[in-house]
Amino acid sequence: MTDLRPSDDEFEPYEEDRGIPLPVSWIAIALALWGIVMLYHNNRSVMIGRSERSEAAKPQSRDVGAGGAGIFLARCATCHQPNGSGVAGAVPPLASSPFLKAKPEVVVQILLHGIDGPIRVGDDVFDGHMPSFASVLSDDDLAQVANHVRKGWGASQTISAAFVAGQRARFPDRGAWNGGSEIAATLDPTLPPQPAPRPDAGTGIDPAVAGLVQHGSGDAWACASCHGSQGQGRANVPRLAGLPAAYISAQLAAFASGSRRDDTMTVVARALSQNQRETVGNYYAGLRTPSTARPSLDGDLERGEILALQGDWKHGVPACFSCHGPSGFGVAPGFPALAAQHPAYTADQLAAWRGKVHRASPNDVMNMVANSLSDSDRRAVADFLATLPPVPAAHRQEPVHGRSVAR
Amino acid sequence: MEPTIGLLLALSFLVSLLALTFLIWAVSSRQMAFNQAQARTIFVAGEEGHADNPGISPNADDDTHHFDPARAGIDAISARPVTILLTTAVLWLVVGSIFGLTASLKLHWPDWLGDEAWLTFGRVRTIHLNIVIYGWSSLGLLGVVFWVAPRMFHTRLRHPHLAEVGALIWNLALLAAVFALATGWTDGEEWLEIPWQIDMLLAVASACFVLPLLRTAAARNVHHIYVTGWYWMAAICWFPVLFVIANLPGLFVGAQQATVNWWFAHNVLGLWLTPLGVGAGYYFIPKIIGKPIYSYSLSLLGFWALALFYSQVGIHHLIGGPVPTWVVTLSIVHSVMMFVPVITVAINQHVTVAQNMWAFKQSIALRFVSLGAICYTLASFQGSIEALRSINTVVHFTQYTVGHAHLGAYTFLSFTLFGAVYHMMPRITGCSWPWPRLIPVHFWLVVIGFTVYFVALSIGGIYQGLAMLDATRPFADSVILLKPYLESRSVGGALMTLGHFVFAAHFAAILLQRRPAAVSSAPMTQPVVAA
C-alpha cells in the first residue's frame, strides 16, 4: 500500500509477500461452517419431513382400522343419522331394515353400486338416491362398514373382505340398482314386496350432442379432449359427470360473457349456441361415472372433513354441505356437486374466488368463504371432497362410442 | 441409514476444504520466493509503468506500441489464427444479436414473423443462445488466448495450424448446428440443443485447441506461469471433457438426464467461459495499467476454489425437481461457496483498478475490461444468492433469471472481449483504429442498452415470480404484467445490437484498411495483411 506508483525504470511494487487478507479468510471460514451446517441440516430436514408424513399417515390408517363405526360416522351418518334412524320421507332408516337382515350380498351390493330408484323399508316408500362407494372404499373398508351396520341393526353373520371382492367382481360394469325391486329380483327374493321400478329414463343420446362432446365442431373443441371420455376430468380440469344441467349451461354462459375467466373455456363457450350449451349440460348431468379423484394436495383430511361438514365459524366459514347438499352432491340448479371433484380443481377455484377472479356467486358468498380459507384449508377441504363418492349413479347409459380422444 | 448421508456429506465437504487449504498453503509457501518475479512476467523490460492505451493515440508512447524484436516474431506467428478466430467471432456476434433481438421482440409481438417455422420463438431463441455462446464468446476468447499466451510465455505459438484447423471445424460445426436448429432438429435439452452428431464435430474442434496452448506453455521462456495461464490451461482441458460427457447419446435418461443437463449447462459457463474471461481480466487489467496484481495468494485461492466449487453448482436449477434433496443441497452450498473465489478475484482486479483510476479514465479498453470484471463480481454474487431456496422460489422460471444470465454472459464476457479486441487489434494489424470516436459510441450504446435491459428484467422478473406464486391470481396475470418490462428489454437489446453493428463495422475497417505508411515499417504485420 505504501508505494504504488514506482518510478518507470525501477518497478518493484511487491517487496512484501501479500498474503490472503484476514477478512477474506474469515469470510471463507464462515461460509465453510455455514456449508457444513447446511449439508448436515439438509439430512435432518429430510428426516423430519419424512417422520411428519408417516405420522400424518398413521391416524388415517388407525381411523380406518378402528373399524366400521368410524367409517359409518364419516361416510353414512350424514344421511342415515348416527343412530341409523334415517330421515322421514327422505332417507330410509337402517335400524330394523329388512335389507340388512337379508343375505349378506344385499348390503354389499348396495354399497358397491348405490341405489337410484324407489325402495320400500318398513311401511314407507323412499325415492332412493344412494351413491356408490366402490371407487372410494377398499374391500376391507366395505366389509367393516357392512359388518358394523348389520351387527347393529340386522344379522350377525360376518362379512369378509374376500367376500366383498367376490361381490365386486360379480357385476363389474353395472350402474346403480334401480330401486328395491331389482335388488329383490336379482339378489334375494325373500325381501318384502317392493315398489315397481322407475321406467328407464336412459333413452339414447342425441348423436349431435355426442358428436359435439366427442369430436367438437369448429372452435368448440371436443369437451372430451380435456374432460375425458366419461366427463371424469383430471387434475385441474373438473369432473363434469353428474353436475346439474342448469349449472353447466350457466357456467358456459359465464365463460362466454367473460364473467368467469378461463382462456380456453371462453373460446369454446363462445362457439356454442344457447341451445348447444343446454344440451351439453343435460348430457353431462345424466352421465354417471365412477370417481377418479384422489387426495393429491397433502391436505389434512380431518380438517377438510370438519370444514365440509361443520364449517369453521370462528373464521366465518360455513359448512360446504349446508349449500352444496348432503355429502356434497350438489343442489340444482345453482350449487354444483363437490363430491368426487378433483382436488387440484377445487383448490384452484377456491383460490380464484379469493383472488376475485370469479364474481358470479350470489351475494359474493363464495368470495367471502374463500377469503376466510388459508392455503392449507383450501388443500384440506379439496382433498377431503375428493374422497367422497360421486353423485348417485343411475344405470349406465349406452356407452358413447367414438375414438378415444388423445389428451 | 439416514443419519449417515448428512454426516457423510458434511464430513467429505470438510475434508475437501481442508485439502484445498493445504494445497493453497503448500503452493503459496513454496513459491513465496518468486513472488516478485511472478508479478512481472507479463511485462517486457521497460514496458511496465505506462498506461497502455490501444490505438486511440497511436504515437503517444514509444514503448507501448513498439515491440521488442523477439516478441515481434511471436506476434507474427499467432496473428493468423487469432485473426481468423476474432473475425468469425465478430460475425457470429452480429448474427447472434439479430436473433436475440428478434426473440425479444417476439415476446411482446407474438404474431410477428410467426408464419415460418424457423422464425418461431423456440427456434430463434435457441439459435441466439448457441451462436453467442459457441460463436461469439468461445471463439472470441480463444482468439484472446492464442494472442496473449505466447506473449505471456515469451515464446512463439506452437502448432498454429492446428489452432486454425480447430477454428475452421468449429465454425463449420456451428454453422451446421444453426441450420439444424432452424429446421427443428435438436436434442431437446436447454444448452444441449445441438444434435449430438454435430456436437462430435465441435468436440474434435475443441480438442484441436488443447495441444497448441499446452505445447506453448511447456516451451515457455519464463519460470513461473502467470495466473491467467492457470485459468486458460484448465479451461481448455475441461471443456472437451465436459462437452463430450454431456453429449454422449443415450447414456442418461429421465431425472439423471436433467441432472447431467444442468451440470453441463452451468459448467460450460463456470469451467469454460468464466476461466477464459477471468484469465483475460487478470492479463489485461495490469497490462493496460502497468501495475501488477494485488496478491498472488489470492489468485491461488481464487483459482483452486473455483475448480473445487464450480463443478457442483448446476444442480441448483433443479430445486424442487425429482432429484435427491442432498444433491440439490450440495449444489446450493457449492453455489454459495463461490463467494470465496469471486471475492478473491474481485479484490485482485478491482483494487488494482481502483488505485489507478487515471488509467480507467484514459483507456477505453480498460474501461470495457474492468467493467466486465465488475459485472463478473456482481453476476456471481447474484448467482450465489439466487441459488438459495428462498430466493429461488420467487425468481426461478422468471425473466429475472434471463437478466442474471446476461449480466454474466454479456456484460462480463462480452465487455471483457470488447476491451481485449480494442487492445489487440492495433497490435495484430499494425494499424490504429480508423475512427477512434466510434469506440466511446460503442461503449455508451452497450452500457446504456444493457442497463435498461437488466433493470427492466430484474424488476419485471420479481413481479412475475410473485404473481406466479400467488394461487389466487390466474396465470395470465403473470404474463400480462410483464409486457412493459419486455418492451423495455427490447429497447435495451436494440441499443446493444446497434452497438455491435458499430463495433463490427469498426472491426471490419481496421482489418481491411491499408496500413498507414508510418506504421508499415513494423515488419511483424506482414502475414496479417496477406491474410
State which amino acid sits at residue A298.
D
Question: What pLDDT, in 10s, does the model give residues A205-236?
Answer: 677 788 888 888 777 888 999 999 889 999 88
* R_g over Cα of chain A: 29
Residue A201 has pLDDT above 70, yes or no: no
In single-letter form, the type of residue at position A41 comes to H
Rounded to two decimals, the pTM is: 0.77
CB atoms closer than 10 angstroms to residue B248 = 12
Letter for the amino acid at A322?
Answer: S
- Catalogue the E-assigned strands of A83-165: 115-121, 124-130
Tell me the residues of chain A between 27 and 56 that have a Cβ less than 8 Å away from chain B.
Answer: 27-28, 31-32, 34-47, 50
Does residue A259 sit at the B interface (CB-CB below 8 Å)?
no
Give the domain A71-186 fold. Answer: Cytochrome Bc1 Complex; Chain D, domain 2 (1.10.760)
Residue A259 carries which DSSP code? S
Give B234's Cβ-side CA count (13 Å radius).
26
Cβ atoms of B74 and B531 closer than 8 Å:
no
Residues A341 and A231: beta-carbon distance below 8 Å: no
Which grid cell is A263? 382462456
Over residues A371-389, the mean pLDDT reads: 90
CB distance B484 to B107 below 8 Å: no
Cell numbers at residue B67, please?
A: 515491440
Quote the CA–CA distance of A69 and A158 in Å, as a whole number: 15
CA distance B339 to chain A (A): 8
Residue A104's pLDDT band (cuts 50, 70, 90): confident
Task: Please count the CA atoms within 13 angstroms of the CA of B141 that sit on its side-chain side.
Answer: 33
Cβ atoms of residues B384 and B310 within 8 Å? no
Q: What is the fold, at CATH topology level, of the domain defined by A207-285?
A: Cytochrome Bc1 Complex; Chain D, domain 2 (1.10.760)
B390 close contact with A: CB closer than 8 A: no
DSSP B147-171: HHHHHHHTSPPS-HHHHHHHHHHHH
Q: Measure A282 CA to nearest chain B CA, in Å.
A: 29
Instruction: Give the pLDDT of residue B51.
Output: 55
| Crossing angle (nearest 10°) for helices B227-247 and B254-267 | 160
Q: Which of A2, A27, A14, A30 is nearest to B302 (CA)?
A: A27
Cross-chain residue pair A42–B326, CB shorter than 8 Å: yes
B153-210 residue pLDDT tens:
888 999 999 999 999 999 999 999 999 999 999 998 999 999 999 999 999 999 999 9
Measured distance CA(A201)–CA(A177) in Å, rounded: 14
| Segment B81-92, tens digit of pLDDT | 999 999 999 999
The answer to whether the CB atoms of A39 and B337 lie below 8 A apart is: no
Instruction: Tell me the Cα Rg of chain B.
Output: 23
For chains A and B, CB pairs below 8 A equal: 127
Which of B2, B295, B337 shows the shortest C-beta gap to A31? B337
A7 touches B at CB < 8 Å: yes
DSSP string, A147-167: HHHHHHHS--PPPPHHHHHHH
- Using DSSP's 3-state secondary structure scheme, residue A220 falls into strand
Helices (H), B470-482: 475-480
Phi and psi (nearest 5°) for A259?
-75, -20
- B465: amino acid identity, one letter: G
Instruction: State the maximum Cα–Cα separation within chain B, in Å, rounded to a whole number.
Output: 78
Grid coordinates in use for B375?
459485472
Look at residues B39, B43, B57 and name the one whose alpha carbon lies nearest to residue B365. B57
> How far is it, in rounded angstroms, from Cα B100 to Cα B94?
10
Residues paired with residue A331 on neighbouring β-strands, in sequence order: A335
Sign (positive/negative) of CA torsion B158, B159, B161, B163?
negative
> pLDDT > 70: what percent of chain B?
88
For the cut 70, the answer to whether the pLDDT of residue A2 exceeds it is no
Could you count the other beta carbons within 10 Å of the beta carbon of residue B394?
A: 18
DSSP B216-259: HHHT-SSSSPPHHHHHHHHHHHHHHHHHHHHH-TTS--HHHHHH
Please provide the CATH number assigned to the domain covering B60-530. 1.20.210.10
Alpha helix positions (H), B249-363: 254-267, 274-289, 296-310, 325-337, 339-354, 357-362
pLDDT tens, per residue, chain B with 531 residues: 456 778 888 888 999 999 888 888 888 776 444 455 555 556 655 555 555 544 444 443 434 333 454 566 888 889 999 999 999 999 999 999 999 999 999 999 999 998 999 999 999 999 999 999 999 999 999 999 999 999 888 889 999 999 999 999 999 999 999 999 999 999 989 999 999 999 999 999 999 999 999 999 999 888 888 889 999 999 999 999 999 999 998 889 989 999 999 999 999 999 999 999 999 999 998 888 878 888 888 888 999 999 999 988 999 999 988 898 889 999 999 999 999 999 999 999 999 889 888 888 888 999 999 999 999 999 999 999 999 999 999 999 999 999 999 999 999 999 999 999 999 999 898 889 999 999 999 999 999 999 999 999 999 999 999 999 988 888 889 999 999 999 999 999 999 999 999 999 999 999 998 665 444 334 333 333 333
**Separation of alpha carbons B71 and B523, rounded Å:** 12
Q: How far is A14 from chain B (nearest CA, A)?
A: 6
Domain ranges of chain B: 60-530
State which CATH number among 2.60.300.12, 3.40.50.300, 1.20.120.340, 1.10.760.10 fits the domain covering A301-386: 1.10.760.10
Report the interhelical angle of B139-153 vs B227-247 (nearest 10°). 140
> Could you state, in order of their start, the residue ranges of all structural domains in chain A?
71-186, 207-285, 301-386
Q: In the prediction, which pLDDT does A205 show?
A: 67
Torsion of CA A316, A318, A323, A324, to 10 degrees: 120
Q: Is A121 helix (H, G, I), strand (E, B) or coil?
A: strand
Residue linked to cell 362398514: A145
**Predicted complex: ipTM over 0.90:** no
Residue of B nearest to A39 (CA): B10
